[in-house]
Structure 1
Amino acid sequence: MGRMVPAKAAFAGLCSSLVGIGLARFAYTPLIPVLIGAAWFSPGQAAYLGAANLAGYLAGALLTQRIAARVPVRPVLRGMMLLVGVAFLACAIRLPFAWFFAWRFAAGFAGGVIMILAAPAVLASTPAALRGRVGGFIFTGVGLGVAASGTLVPLLLEAGIAATWCVLGALSLVLTALCWRSWPDAGVAPATRRAPPARSSLAARAVVLEYGLNAVGVVPHMVFLVDFVARGLGRGIEAGAGFWVLYGFAAIAGPMATGWVGDRAGFGTALRLGFVVQAAAVILPILTTGTLPLAVSCIVMGAFTPGIVPLVLGRLHEFAAGDPAQQRALWGAATASFALFQAAVAYGLSFLFAQTGGAYAPLFAVAAAALALALAVDVVARAIGARQVRTRRSVAA
């Protein structure tokens, strides 16, 4: 990644995304049927625990700016990573439902804070030409968590549910310890002032909205993929799990690939291209259910689930004009947008799924429409911005 980018700092960023998002969120997915089967929770309670994590993530995203204004970023990141590890260990103790709800909320809260603070802390001292690749490396941790959810967690469950919680907690704490001293000096002081209004504010707000719409686009694959293959297509749980593993390994490679494209083509161009490619991939299961098209769809959406992040982060970094406080504010708004859209659409698509008698095509159609709308928002905002520039130049002339 070059002499100017401390490898230790990039590694710390990767560990934080692996712990705060990859494990804290995605490791819970394969636990759900086992928790229900072992009578730890009812199906409804298991779903509410998933929602608790999303609610905590949103709360963390909304409160991060206040936290960063009072406490240096480095101890905040250390504390949030520790919180995830402790939350996993706490869930190994079989107590009433409220206990688990509180700790799953806490893990989500930590993830929201980590998502906003970690990457900007690393990218603050990263050369502009390398920001896409470094950002991609950081968010590879999310993909590693997705892959682990389909491979490592099922193996751990053979030792029991409590043991699985404990191993996940221990792994989180080990990763926290490994990167404890690796956070960079740049960008870790508390903010001493409110961020000024964003330069090119219309374009920045458009990207924040687009990121939220992209959250809608990834939900059907992220939530319904295994069920679609296993029950919807009648291919069984093993086939569904196989596609999920494919999705997970694509998620590992996705951030580095999209970051590389962002560095080469520019983040704006790469972002628009990403919306087009994702929309096409989401439509594929509606058009055909052949194994190869489904595999392509899984690979593309798996890659973009974390891969969209370095593109949006890089684009917002351009609007921040090198101001760390401004970048944190923009990235915080984008993360909150993503969390809001994701939580709302997860419930909305579940309702739609129930109302249509378990039809999957409407879910993919909604996702494709959201991605098409994200592209339209970007194109319109770009056109308006270009017109404003021409107007200012003509007035100055």
Structure 2
Amino acid sequence: MRKHFILFLIGGILSLIIAMGIGRFAYTPILPLMQKDLSFSNAVAGYLASSNYAGYLLGAILAGAIPLKKYRTISLRIHLITSILTTMLMGLTYSPLLWYMLRFVSGFASAFVLVLASGIVLDKLASINKTSWSGLFYGGVGLGIFSSSIIIPILNQSFQWEGTWIGLAAISGILAFFVWSWLYDTPNNVEMKNTQVAFAQVPPKKWIPWLTIAYGLEGLGYIVTGTFIVSIAEKTSFFHNNATFVWMMVGLAAIPSCLIWSVLAKKWGYVKSLVLAMVLQSFGIMMPVFWMSKNSFVISALLFGATFMGITTLATTLGRQMNPSNSSQTIGNLTAIYAGGQLIGPTLAGVISSFTHNFNLALLGAASVILLGAGLLFNGIKFEREAPKMTKPKNFSL
């Protein structure tokens, strides 16, 4: 039983490495390589990012709306294959129009993988009273970012940016074999709605709209740094030709962050932990504006990496706990509003930076909307103090 669960969890982690760490976020460190070779503007870079997030938005909406409870495994596999193919095709064309289409489809696939894998894994964890282990699962995004930041410079040195996309797709294909073998729904997961599960003190279901709006503002703000941090660093004298190091720091901090925030949430409460994470993230985003140095970029990257997936872990786990009978729909709705913010952020930041010739105003705006989102969450703290604890079911060892 224990070995089976470990392989199941690894399969979930690998699915996020493929669809999120590589399929979605590899664009950030590859972007300056493409711009250096092809000389397209920040505005075009922003449009490319936004096309990905437009697909992500549509995918999140459909993943939450379509009743896929009995077909999560096969749907997950189809969208993993789609993510890998779009990654490969990015290195086989020079047409911006095709890039827009590929990034759109890639975003669509990554949203489905995130929502479906989250539903499968979180339902399984809840059924065995191990919800706090969700941090290990979401750490797959950070692991994908960190690993790709090591691999990308190596691939680029030998095969240029085109070969980098293709090489990452080949690696993803290998990892997908293990996902296919280890990650799948079980009857226990499908019947979760009939299972009593022990949850920490959380706000009632009616509080979900507050969480949703705050999470949308987080998506709008964080993605500015998530898209452009490597490009910003590349234009300084501190990281010339070595800006991928900044993205490596993001990934390094993201790997343990989800587990750490899960532990803190169990001790302090999910809402308080979300507020703290968003405040720390906003501070990190605005840091390079007021303190331009190598250290400021490293600290900013570490704070960003330590919070952005932690916030996703907290928000999706909290949403699932408030509506356990339909976890995929709740996670899909949260992911959709998050993606809506991401759709606006890169385009707005790209246009502003093209007009002001720097990213300072865009970074300050991003930090401000995240602080606003944190402020909206304050009224949920009272529920964590007042909500009665639920009776824990019998726990069994793995």
Q: TM-score range by the shorter chain?
A: 0.7 to 0.9
Partner of 1:288: 291
Alignment CA distance shift 1:92-1:221 (3 Å): closer
The corresponding residue for 2:350 is 350
Label 1:262 to 1:173 Cα distance change in 2 as closer, same or farther (>3 A). same
C-alpha displacement of 1:171: 1.6
Range that drifts further, 149-158 or 46-55: 46-55
Q: Is the 8 A contact 2:72 2:185 kept in 1?
A: no
Shift of residue 342 of structure 1? Answer: 1.2
Write the distance in 2 (CA, Å) between the matches of 1:102 and 1:191.
37
Which residue identity is paired with 2:173?
L
Asked whether the equivalents of residues 47 and 346 of structure 2 are also in contact (C-alpha less than 8 Å), the reply is no
Mapping for residues 102-141 of structure 1, pairs under 5 Å: 102-127=101-126, 130-133=130-133, 135-141=134-140
Q: Is the counterpart of residue 185 in structure 1 residue 181 in structure 2?
A: no
Equivalent residue for 1:207?
Answer: 211
1:374 corresponding residue in structure 2? 373
Structure 2 counterpart of 1:224: 228
Quick one: structure 1 residues 298 and 69, their matched pair in 2 at CA, closer, same or farther if it must change by over 3 Å? closer
Structure 2 residue aligned with 1:248: 251
Q: What do you get for the CA RMSD once the two structures are aligned?
A: 3.3
Q: CA deviation at 1:97?
A: 4.7
Instruction: Identify if the C-alpha distance between structure 1 residues 186 and 239 changes in structure 2 by more than 3 Å, giving closer, same or farther.
Output: same
1:207-245: per-residue Cα shift (whole Å, max 9, x none)?
1111111223323432332343343x5434246433332
Matches within 5 A, 1:83-94: 83-94=82-93
Name 1:272's counterpart in structure 2.
275
Does the Cα contact within 8 Å between 2:269 and 2:384 map onto a contact in 1? no
Unaligned runs of 5+ in 1: 193-198, 390-397
Per-residue CA distance 1:252-306 (angstroms, 9 max, x = gap): 2222222222233332222122123223333433443354444322211112122
Per-residue deviation, residues 190-221 of structure 1 (Å, max 9, x unmatched): 999xxxxxx83441111111111122332343
Shift in CA distance, 148/61, structure 1 to aligned 2, threshold 3 Å: same
CA contact (8 A) 1:73 1:188 kept: no
Summarize deviations over 1:116-143 as a string: whole Å, max 9, x none: 111121111214863233x221222211
Change (3 A) 1:350 1:10: same
Separation of aligned partners in 2, 1:79 and 1:180: 10
Residues 355, 277 of structure 1: alpha-carbon distance in 2 compared, 3 angstrom cutoff = same
Check conservation: 2:53, 2:343, Cα contact below 8 A.
yes
Report the AA paired with residue 263 of structure 2.
Answer: W
| Structure-1 separation of matches of 2:283 and 2:91 | 42
> What TM-score, normalized by structure 1, do the two folds share?
0.83
**Alpha carbons 2:234, 2:240 under 8 Å: kept:** yes
* Residues in 2 aligned to 1:189 and 1:109: alpha-carbon distance in whole angstroms: 24
CA contact (8 A) 2:288 2:296 kept: yes
What's the CA shift for 1:65? 3.0
Letter in 1 for 2:71: P
- Give the C-alpha shift of residue 30 in structure 1: 3.0
Conservation of the 8 A alpha-carbon contact between 1:129 and 1:263: no
Worse-matched range after superposition: 175-184 or 155-164: 155-164
Contact 1:9 1:184 in 2 (8 A): no
1:4 Cα deviation from its structure 2 partner: 10
* Distance in 2, Cα, partners of 1:340 & 1:256: 26
Deviation of the 1:310 alpha carbon: 1.1
Contact 2:142 2:251 in 1 (8 A): yes
183-192 vs 118-127, which deviates more?
A: 183-192
Q: TM-score w.r.t. structure 2 length?
A: 0.83
- CA 1:190 to 1:150, structure 2 compared with 1: closer, same or farther past 3 Å? same
Task: Kindly provide the CA deviation profile for residues 18-40 of structure 1, in whole angstroms up to 9, marking residues without a partner as x.
Answer: 1111111122233334445555x
Query: Aligned partners of 1:368 and 1:160: how far apart in 2?
Result: 34
Q: Find the counterpart in structure 1 of residue 321 from structure 2.
A: 318
1:58 partnered with 2:62: no
Shift of 1:86: 2.1
Q: Distance in 2 between matches of 1:42 and 1:370?
A: 28
- Distance verdict in 2 for CA 1:354–1:116, change over 3 Å: same
AA of the residue aligned to 1:15: L
Alignment CA distance shift 1:146-1:10 (3 Å): same
- The alpha-carbon deviation at position 165 of structure 1 amounts to 3.0
Structure 1 partner of 2:79 = 80
| Contact 2:219–2:342 (CA under 8 A) maintained in structure 1 | yes
> How far, CA to CA, are the matches of 2:329 and 2:269 in structure 1?
22
